Structure 1
Amino acid sequence: MKTFDVVAVGSGTVDLIFRVPRLPGNDDKVIGKKVAELIGGTVANSACVMGKLGLRVTSLSTAGDDYYAQAIIDDFHRNGVDTRFILRKPGVAANMAIIFLDDSGEKALVYAPNDETETCMVQAPQAIDCSRLVYMMPGQLDKFRTLARYAREKNTKVVIDVESHIKNSQQNIKEMLSLSDVAIFNKEGFRTSLQQEPDAEVLRSLVEEHDLDALVVTCGGEGVIACDRKGVATHPGYNVSVIDTTGAGDTFNGAFIYCYLNNRELNDALSFASAAAAINISHVGARGKLSTVDDVNKFKEQYQ
């Protein structure tokens, strides 16, 4: 039996959150108010979601030795994420994100990564060896290729998150998919990478072509569409009062992976993951309200 259910490849981030009356445009200025300084990070958020849901999760990442680094590690611990594979490197600055929230709860985000590689490749084989699944963004193709191929050798499943900012995703998407078991896109990431709309026939074709266990496309307020080996499923999402959409996709992804590892049917997985995301966007911050399984089930009961 492997020690961990998931190794999540990606460092934590410090999120500076500002409330503004509207999102600023080019050569524009708005007067806002600082709401919070919180811990985030795309894959790191999903790791915390999975930890809160009860999966055995470890982080494969890099952190510095300052106050922010310790805050990132402490938040992992609070959410049940193991940190033995986090490489502490003196002088490394934390990844930073500035998040602007308008009155509707929609966001604009500026991300400032540090110059360090986020993954300690020396520790990666050990982390993958002892995990059932590796979860990552395939932003650095060489690194992704190395980790995914090694995972295949060790019978470790590979789940990727593909967003629109990933460099050269259009040129490399077929290789990314061929090295993955599950691919999760947001709608813009799907359009950018595949130059197609995420409809049922397109998803079926991709699942078959790349022998995927599942392919999922989140579409914001329009819900989610997904396909596995059994067929296509959709979910419209839940109608809730939106406070902050930061981390909605990360929450969905973490909850979907929980369902995937527990062999839940696709329809049920989409409903569960959508509920977890709906709960979180009713609070401030990417980890504003990370739910337990009981929290999600109680929320879903309100809509039955």
Structure 2
Amino acid sequence: MSRQPGAPALFIGDVALDEYFATDTWVMPGDKGLIETREVYVGGSIANAARVHAGFAGSAEFVSLLNHGELTQRLLAALAGDSVGVQHMLYDGTIGDQRNLIFLVGGEHIVLTPDVDDRPMRFEPEALASLAKPGYVYTTLNRAERLRAGDLDAAAVLRALRAGGRKLVFDLDVDGLADGDNELLRGAHVVMMNNHGFTRSFGAEAAESAVREWMAELDIDVVLRSRAAAGVMAYTAAETLRVPGFSVPVTDVTGAGDTLGGSLVYALGAGMPLAEAVGFAVAAASRSVMHMGPNGGVATIAEVEEFAASFATQTAN
């Protein structure tokens, strides 16, 4: 693939210290169990996606709300080391440190995130004007609903970004849709969710017509349904793309969804057609689960292409 990176992509969300533990079984209330302490990584789902994007030589900027402490400096240094810009980072010295506790249990993972902060992320009007320029925005509903700028609420901030040429990509992950989300999602280019989120939003056996009706109502271009090892379904107004996953040995699934999102944003920004972009993102995400840690998806284009060629005949059902 010989394509040039697109305009700088903006990633708005979380960055955290990911502390890993392993156990044979998940204990129930009242029980006790021993856990094995594993590695510690700089992670956070949106920051992971930004680092994946930057690994392809894509220009990426990350924005979150952090304190001024020692852990924050460690997180910022890790982002800078992976060529992710932080020039519009927001700070508040009163909020807590950002950490995730990740437990590996029987081939799956359980993530516990301390709720240290949910206050608004306030941009100065000048900063919003600087960010409202052509390119992609990758974020979550949780973060999007916290955006503010002057007198603008979250929906107005998103409209300002779109008016400046930003294409919005939302990762709904497992949560799916909830009351009040529609105005934030209106006009989005891509809405991503995994099987759990899709089922919560539309039902396990949702008709494609129902998905498209919702997309048309909110002027959404693409709904992307991640089905883990089975690959991805991408709904547009005209068609449903089905891209199979790859059958690979799994080491750690942490960060696979982030890799999918960061890779998709890179590929779309580089000008790939949707089907090609989704195929590239699926290959990158499939490759990532063969590596330990949330940053297993950070790779070069050549590494993803080499992986796809090597496992081309080993697609999952």
TM-score, with normalisation over the residues of structure 1? 0.89
Partner of 1:292: 300
What secondary structure sits across from 1:243 in the alignment?
coil
Would the aligned equivalents of 1:170 and 1:192 in 2 still touch at CA under 8 Å? no
Letter paired with 1:141: E
- State the superposition RMSD in angstroms: 2.4
| Aligned equivalent of 1:30 | 33
Of 100, 121, 124 in structure 1, the residue corresponding to residue 103 of structure 2 is 100
**3-state SS of paired residue (1:260):** helix
Tell me how far 1:285 sits from its aligned partner.
1.3
SS in 2 for 1:170: coil
Q: Percent identity?
A: 23
1:12 matched to 2:15? The reply is yes
> 1:219-238, aligned counterparts within 5 Å?
219-238=227-246
Distance in 1 (alpha carbons) for counterparts of 2:157 and 2:61:
15
1:277 matched residue in structure 2: 285
State the partner residue of 2:3: none
Q: How far did residue 58 of structure 1 move?
A: 0.8
Q: Deviations over 1:87-107 (max 9, x none)?
A: 243353222111111242x10
Structure 1: distance between partners of 2:116 and 2:172: 20
TM-score, with structure 2 as normaliser: 0.85
Q: Does 1:141 align with 2:145?
A: yes
Amino acid at match of 2:145: L
Amino acid paired to 2:168: V
Find the counterpart in structure 2 of residue 242 from structure 1. Answer: 250
In 2, the alpha carbon distance for the partners of 1:91 and 1:158 equals 30
1:148 offset after TM fit, Å?
1.2
2:151 aligns with none
> 2:73 is paired with a residue of what secondary structure?
helix
Work out the CA distance in 1 between the residues paired with 2:112 and 2:93.
25
On the 8 A contact 2:259/2:297 being kept in 1, the answer is no
The 8 Å contact of residues 16 and 36 in structure 1, kept in 2 or not, is answered as yes
1:233-283 CA distances to partner (integer Å, 9 max, x unpaired)? 112211111111111111101111112222323332222111111222112
The separation in 1 between residues aligned to 2:184 and 2:122, in whole angstroms, is 21
Q: 1:258 — aligned with what? A: 266
Q: How does 1:41-190 map to 2 (within 5 A)?
A: 41-104=44-107, 106-115=108-117, 117=119, 119-122=121-124, 124-139=127-142, 141=145, 143=147, 144-165=154-175, 169-190=177-198
Per the alignment, residue 150 of structure 2 pairs with none
Q: Residues of 2 paired with 1:174 and 1:89: CA distance?
A: 29
Deviations 1:103-156 (Å, cap 9, x if unpaired)? 42x101111132253734226514422451222111253634132111122121
* 1:184–1:216 Cα contact (<8 Å) kept: yes
**Using a 3 Å threshold, how does the CA distance of structure 1 residues 7 and 257 change in structure 2: closer, same or farther?**
same
Task: Quote the offset at 1:50 in angstroms.
Answer: 0.8
For 2:27 and 2:213, the matched residues in 1 are separated by 40
Show structure 2 runs of 5+ residues with no match.
Answer: 1-5, 148-153, 313-317
Q: Is the 8 A contact 1:14 1:39 kept in 2?
A: yes
Question: What is the distance in 2 between the residues matched to 1:13 and 1:51?
Answer: 18
**1:17 Cα offset (Å):** 0.6
CA distance in 2, matches of 1:294, 1:198: 37
CA apart distance, 1:195: 4.1
1:7–1:127 Cα contact (<8 Å) kept: no
* Aligned residue type for 1:215: V
Q: 1:291 to 1:198 in 2, by over 3 A?
A: farther
1:11 and 1:118 in contact (8 A); partners too: no
Alpha carbons of structure 1 residues 82 and 199: separation in structure 2 relative to 1, 3 Å = farther
Greater CA drift, 293-302 or 178-187: 178-187
**Structure 1 counterpart of 2:56, which letter?**
L
Q: Number of aligned residue pairs: give it.
A: 299
Query: In 1, distance between residues paired with 2:233 and 2:86?
Result: 33
Please say if 1:211 is aligned against 2:219. Answer: yes
Mapped to 2, the partners of 1:77 and 1:244 lie a distance apart of 25
The alpha-carbon deviation at position 162 of structure 1 amounts to 1.0
Change in 2 beyond 3 A, CA 1:274/1:215:
same
